[in-house]
Amino acid sequence: MAEEHSGRRVIATNRKARHEYQILDSWEAGLVLTGPEVKSARAGHVSFKDTFARLDGGEVWLQNLHISPYDPASRWNLDPERPRKLLLHAHEIRKLIGRVEERGLSLVPLDLYFRGGYVKTTLALARGKKMHDKRETLKARVQEREARRAVKGDRSG
């Protein structure tokens, strides 16, 4: 689960995001978390089920990200699915406001990771895929896998 490169340790990935959406652009955003939430995230107790981001009053909020309560801090634990503020530069938020208003575009988190002791997420601007697009993506992946196997088999034989 831990992936180390460029000081980045991945906590969790949103595996459904790349299947359900066509990724158009992405940004790195910090999360405003409490101490027990950070400790729970460090332990890997995070779930992306139905997670999305929305713009509200010039701020970006992450909705439905489930961070399990940290048991030793029982008194200070908050709602596991509370909205969490994302930290982006003002110019990035202005760009997002203009693009999200386009029809069919959503803000989706791709992963959650530690960088320099801070919890960050990769926020993506995405367009939902239709069912036939998903099938085409799966077919292309299968064909690519078979081609790699064929090339690998040719070298060893």
- Domains of the chain, CATH where assigned: 4-129 (2.40.280.10)
Please state, in angstroms and rounded to a whole number, the distance separating the CA atoms of residues 157 and 145. Answer: 18
The pLDDT of residue 1: 45
What is the SS3 string spanning 94-126? Answer: HHHHHHHCCCCEEEEEEEEEEECCEEEEEEEEE
CA 116 to chain CA centroid, nearest Å: 18
Residue pLDDT, tens place only, 2-54: 445 567 888 888 888 888 888 888 999 999 988 888 888 888 888 888 888 99
| C-beta neighbour count of 28 within 10 angstroms | 14
User: In the block, which residue shows the tokens 């980045």?
Assistant: 8
Average pLDDT score, the chain: 84
CA 38 to chain CA centroid, nearest Å: 16
pTM over 0.85: no
